[in-house]
Each structure stands twice: as C-alpha cells, then as structure tokens.
Chains A and B, each alone.
Chain A
Amino acid sequence: MASASVIEMKGLSKTYGSGEGATRALDNLTLNVNRGEIFGYLGPNGAGKTTTIRMLLDLIRPTAGAATIFGMDVREKSVDIHRRIGFMPGELSLWEGRTGNQIIHYVASVRGDTKGIVKQAAEIAARLQLDTSKRVRDLSSGNKRKLGLALAMMHAPELLILDEPTGGLDPLVQQTFHEMMDEYRDKGKTVFLSSHVLSEVQAICDRVGILRDGDLKAVESVERLTQVEFHTVEVRFRDAIPAGLPQQLDALPDISDLSANGARLSMRLVGDFDPLLRAIASGYVESLHIEEPTLEDIFLAFYSGGEED
C-alpha cells in the first residue's frame, strides 16, 4: 500500500563545523507530513526550520538520519523529487538583471515544459497582481516574493515547500495566498511551510510542528494548539484600583499571573473577555491594552500546563 506520508524524516540531524566550534542546527528530527495537508513548521528565527528545508532539497546533507519525499531518498533521487515539488526560499534571491518573464522562462525551460508552465505562471502572477515585465532589481521585496510564489507554483507541483512565504506581502495579497493554499489542499496536494507568524499558521495550516533550538518540541493540530491561546491584558484605572478587585479577579478561573502596580493591573487571560470586563466595570477604566501571545508564549503555556498526552 502506498504511504500516506509525502515527507518522512527519520533521525535527521545537522551540525555545522566540527570540534569546539561545532553548531548543532537540528537534532534527531523525526517527522511525517501527510498527503493533502498543509503543515506549518513553526519556530523562532534560528530554530532550524531553513536547515530542515535545505536538507529536504538536498542543498545541504544531514550529519545523521535520512529523509524521503514521495518515498524516494532526498539525496539519491533529488532530480526526480524536484520535478514534483515547488520551492520558495525564505531569503529569496533571484537573478537581479533579469526580468520576471525571463526568469519564468528560464525556470520553465529547466523544468522542460515551457509553454504550459509559462501560461500557468502568467495566471498566478495576474492573481497576485505582479508585473513580470520588470527587472528583479526594480521589484520591491513584496513583489519579489510574489515572483517567488509564481515560480514555486507554476508547474502545479504535488508538494509545495515554502520558507516564510508571506513575509513582505501586503494583507490583501496574503489573503489571496491563503485562498491559493486552501485550493491546494482541496486538490489533495501537500504544503510544507515554515513560519514564525502564528496568525498565518492558524489561518491555513492543518497541523504544526514546533521547533526550538534544533529540537522538535511538538506536533499538534492547529485546533489543539490554539485551545491554549491566551492574551496578556493590562488595565489602567484613572484613579486607583477598586477595592477588592484583585481578589475578585484572582477568583476567576480564566485569569492568572495577576499583578498590581499603582493604578495598573496586569494579568494573563485564557478564554472569553466577558467575566473580566464585568469585573473591572466597577472602576473608571482609562485604558485597556490586550497583547497577542507570541508563539513562544503559547508554546511555553502549552507545555508548562501539562497538557501533553
């Protein structure tokens, strides 16, 4: 029976350099990405996301372990694999003196099917509102990324590998990108995308893997991960904190880490805002500051809360 996994990584490790100066970029990564899913590979900068992707593309070689894509070893069958995948690097570098159209023709000719691919690229470019007649050096960083997306998607690959795909894209184009990813999923294709933007992952991914310091800390469905979503809230009163309010808030089950400083109250809120808003209505609220949790905050909350299976 054919494997449902499109990407399989087993004990994948990468160390740069040797001896005392050696840097461990990835440690014993075992991870499967299934056919038809959009998998978000999350982690802060330097976590090892790009290292993983570059090993999958056979640009760098693992120190230990192995990886397969479509059941083929990424080292031995790289050309066969690359025929069926599309890739956009995080730091997209293209040939600065060439126009978008020239680069599209070049990439299409290397792929060996110029006519159909170029037509498809033109459709994607139009959808992303990209002018492909300009030289790369004249494109903004956002437009360069649009071109990168067109190059990655123009041959309708079975697997898309995207490293920080939406950095520099304006919100409208990000929305278009999200729609394109949904269409990809609907067609039964697979996307492996790295990001450090939680909202993006929440919007389009089915599952996420969380990477930190080269270690895969967790693989969860987006639904489960966002169950632990919380906000950091700061309430500033005009006069003073109403008497008894801290005790009242402390008693609420969704509030933790409560601290008072002059006329300010800070806390962590999990779940709905209504109980908090009702409680603080006893005083004159001068300002209310709500901060989205960072990926690291969620990660820490998720695992410090003992929610692991």
Chain B
Amino acid sequence: MIGSVFLETLRQTWKQMVYWGIGLAAMALLVILMLPLFDMQQMKDLLASFPAVILAMIGVGNELEIFATNEGFVAVGFFGKSLLIFAVYPVVMGMRITANEEDDGTMDMLLSLPVQRARVVIEKFLAYSVSIIGVVLLIYFGMHLGVLLGDVELDVARLAEVTFYLIPLMVFTMAVTLLIGVVARRRQVALGIITAYIIMSYMLQTIGLAAEGTVAEPIGAISFFTYYNTGDILTQGYIWPHIAGLVLISAALLLLSLHRYEKRDIAV
C-alpha cells in the first residue's frame, strides 16, 4: 500500500524527532534567556575593536550592526554557530534511509515484500523530511517560549526566516548522506565520509568568511553552509536563489541515489 513505509518510518522516528527538537529548542531558549545579561552597545563596541578576520571567523563578518541587536545575536550566536549540531540530525536520518537498514539486515525483509526499491527510498526520504520540519518547528516554539519566560524584547517573527531556512539546509544534508550511504553501502564507511564532508564544508565556509574581499573568498562558495548566512537572511529575508539551489541539488542527489540503488546489490 502506498504510504505504508512513510507512515512506519514516521512511527519509528517521532520520538527521536521530539528529543532532538526539545534539545535544540532548549539551546535556543537558553540563548534567549541570556539576552538580558548582555549590553548590546558594549558588545558592539567590544567587537568593533576586533580585527576583521576574527569577526569573520566567529560568524559576525561585516554585519556588526545586525549582530548588536537581540535578533542578530540569536541569529548569529545560536543559528550561525550551531550549524554543525544542526547537521547531525539529517545525517542520522539520511543514514537510516538505506545504510543502517542494510547493515542491520532489515532491508532484506523489507525488499522481499511487494515494494519497489525506489518507493522505499522516496517514502523514507519524505518521512525523514517531515521529521526535520518537526525538529525545526520545535526550535521555533522554543524561541517563543524563551520570549515568554524571559520577558525579552525579541521579534521572533523576524527570526522565523532564519529558523525555517534550516529546512532546505537540513534536507540537503540528508540527501548528501543518502547518496553517500547508497554508494558506500556500509554504515561505518558512509558515516566516515559524510563526517569528513561536513567538517570540510564548515572549514571552507570559515575560510571564505575570513578571507572576505580577498582572492580566497570564493572558496567559501564550495561549502553548503555558505548558503545559510544568518546575517544575510536577517537583512534580506529568504534568499530564494539559494533555497532553490539547495532544493534542486537535493532533488538531484535523491534521483542519483535512486538510480544507483536500483542498479546495485543490497548489502548484508
């Protein structure tokens, strides 16, 4: 029956989604509750004394004015600096689409049923995408809760774009993980490759930011993290070409994965 793999995947995942969502929401809440402890003007003056390269490396770049606002502090200080953590959840989910099930041996049981390989991959991909949306929604609710509890002046609506922008980024990360899992077959190998890829991307983004205005700046464009620049999102809103790029590349990665998975042997 169409949708049965999707529903079962959601059933198997909803608890992890809630735990991750609560954990990340708690982090957001903590950052918001800490806001009254900072004097933004002093913070701005302090940061203004830093060399440009340091500002770039800590994610502030030339967005000092934005950073010295409550929204900017949350956007850069929480979302910008927690990117590696945000990348973990989609990696875990991406691994579950094929690599984990093959390593565990459950894929044999699943594919012995009247269901196409492509359907299994697509339904699981969609289910995990839904769980990513769930995690992001919980983060958003966590920020609302922080505002209520901390009596903080914070325009959460402005942060909505920064929050929901995480969805295409996390789906992209899951799509990359899926493809690596399909190609590598083995969980441990796939996990090693995707970890290296994410750390490398993070480093490239940092180099790109630190080298702003130099010939090394384009290096940052290689990193997918570059397409989640919290300062830019806060000032410009949704950057649709970036979102479209992430969505299209994710779709292409999914199609590549389907093609490769259809052709190869299922590992045991």
CA distance A107 to B113 in the complex (A): 8
**Does A93 sit at the interface, judged by CB under 8 A?**
yes
Over the window 214-252 of chain A, the binary record of Cβ atoms lying under 8 Å from chain B Cβ atoms (1 yes, 0 no) is: 000000000000000000000000000000000000000
A95, chain B: closest CB distance, angstroms: 6
A106 touches which of B4, B104, B111, B116 (Cβ 8 Å)? B4
- A59-B265, A106-B4, A110-B5 given as contacts; is B112 within 8 A of A82 (CB)? yes
B66, chain A: closest CB distance, angstroms: 44
Q: When the two chains form their complex, are residues B266 and A82 in contact, meaning their CB atoms are under 8 A apart? A: no
A93 touches which of B11, B104, B114, B266 (Cβ 8 Å)? B104
**Does A111 sit at the interface, judged by CB under 8 A?**
yes
Of all chain A residues, which has the CB nearest B112?
A: A87
CA distance A89 to B105 in the complex (A): 9
**Does A54 sit at the interface, judged by CB under 8 A?**
yes
Q: When the two chains form their complex, are residues A94 and B106 in contact, meaning their CB atoms are under 8 A apart? A: yes
Of all chain A residues, which has the CB nearest B120?
A: A110
**Does B49 sit at the interface, judged by CB under 8 A?**
no
**Does A97 sit at the interface, judged by CB under 8 A?**
yes
Q: When the two chains form their complex, are residues A60 and B114 in contact, meaning their CB atoms are under 8 A apart? A: no
Contacts of B12 in A (CB 8 A): 95, 97-98
Of all chain B residues, which has the CB nearest A114?
A: B1
**Does A61 sit at the interface, judged by CB under 8 A?**
yes
- A61-B265, A82-B113, A97-B12 given as contacts; is B108 within 8 A of A110 (CB)? no
Q: When the two chains form their complex, are residues A80 and B109 in contact, meaning their CB atoms are under 8 A apart? A: no
Contacts of A282 in B (CB 8 A): none
Contacts of A54 in B (CB 8 A): 108, 266, 268
The total of chain B residues at the interface (CB under 8 A) is 22
- A82-B112, A82-B114 given as contacts; is B1 within 8 A of A112 (CB)? yes
A147, chain B: closest CB distance, angstroms: 11
Q: When the two chains form their complex, are residues B8 and A89 in contact, meaning their CB atoms are under 8 A apart? A: no
**Does B115 sit at the interface, judged by CB under 8 A?**
yes
Over the window 58-89 of chain B, the binary record of Cβ atoms lying under 8 Å from chain A Cβ atoms (1 yes, 0 no) is: 00000000000000000000000000000000
- A79-B116, A98-B12 given as contacts; is B108 within 8 A of A93 (CB)? yes
Residue of A87, A91, A97, A110 contacting most chain B CB atoms (<10 Å): A110
Q: When the two chains form their complex, are residues B266 and A110 in contact, meaning their CB atoms are under 8 A apart? A: no
Contacts of A89 in B (CB 8 A): 105, 108-109, 112
Contacts of A80 in B (CB 8 A): 114
Contacts of B5 in A (CB 8 A): 110
A59 touches which of B1, B4, B104, B108 (Cβ 8 Å)? B108
Contacts of B111 in A (CB 8 A): 57-59
**Does A83 sit at the interface, judged by CB under 8 A?**
yes
CA distance A91 to B109 in the complex (A): 10
- A60-B266, A95-B12, A98-B12 given as contacts; is B109 within 8 A of A111 (CB)? no
CA distance A59 to B113 in the complex (A): 11
CA distance A197 to B108 in the complex (A): 23
Contacts of B115 in A (CB 8 A): 79, 82, 110
Of all chain A residues, which has the CB nearest B107?
A: A59
**Does A129 sit at the interface, judged by CB under 8 A?**
no
B185, chain A: closest CB distance, angstroms: 12
**Does A109 sit at the interface, judged by CB under 8 A?**
yes
Q: When the two chains form their complex, are residues A110 and B106 in contact, meaning their CB atoms are under 8 A apart? A: no
Residue of B11, B110, B111 contacting most chain A CB atoms (<10 Å): B111
A173, chain B: closest CB distance, angstroms: 21
List which A24-60 residues lie within 8 A (CB) of chain B: 54, 57-60
Q: When the two chains form their complex, are residues B112 and A109 in contact, meaning their CB atoms are under 8 A apart? A: no
A109 touches which of B4, B108, B266 (Cβ 8 Å)? B4
CA distance A151 to B106 in the complex (A): 13
CA distance A83 to B114 in the complex (A): 5
Contacts of A85 in B (CB 8 A): 112
Contacts of B11 in A (CB 8 A): 102
Of all chain B residues, which has the CB nearest A55?
A: B265
Q: When the two chains form their complex, are residues B114 and A111 in contact, meaning their CB atoms are under 8 A apart? A: yes
B18, chain A: closest CB distance, angstroms: 15
Of all chain B residues, which has the CB nearest A81?
A: B114
Over the window 106-144 of chain B, the binary record of Cβ atoms lying under 8 Å from chain A Cβ atoms (1 yes, 0 no) is: 101111111110000000000000000000000000000
- A109-B4, A109-B8 given as contacts; is B108 within 8 A of A95 (CB)? no
Contacts of B7 in A (CB 8 A): 109
CA distance A225 to B84 in the complex (A): 64
Over the window 99-117 of chain A, the binary record of Cβ atoms lying under 8 Å from chain B Cβ atoms (1 yes, 0 no) is: 0001000110111100000
Contacts of A151 in B (CB 8 A): 109
Of the A-B pairs whose beta carbons lie under 8 Å apart in the complex, a sample of 17, sorted by A's number, is A57-B111, A59-B112, A59-B265, A61-B265, A82-B112, A82-B114, A89-B109, A91-B105, A92-B105, A93-B106, A93-B108, A93-B109, A95-B12, A109-B1, A109-B4, A109-B8, A110-B114
Top 10 A-B pairs, shortest CB-CB distance = A93-B105, A60-B265, A109-B4, A87-B112, A83-B114, A112-B1, A82-B114, A59-B266, A110-B113, A106-B8
- Beyond the given pairs A109-B4, A112-B1, 6 more chain A to chain B contacts, judged by CB atoms under 8 angstroms and listed by A's residue number, are A78-B116, A93-B106, A106-B8, A109-B7, A110-B114, A151-B109
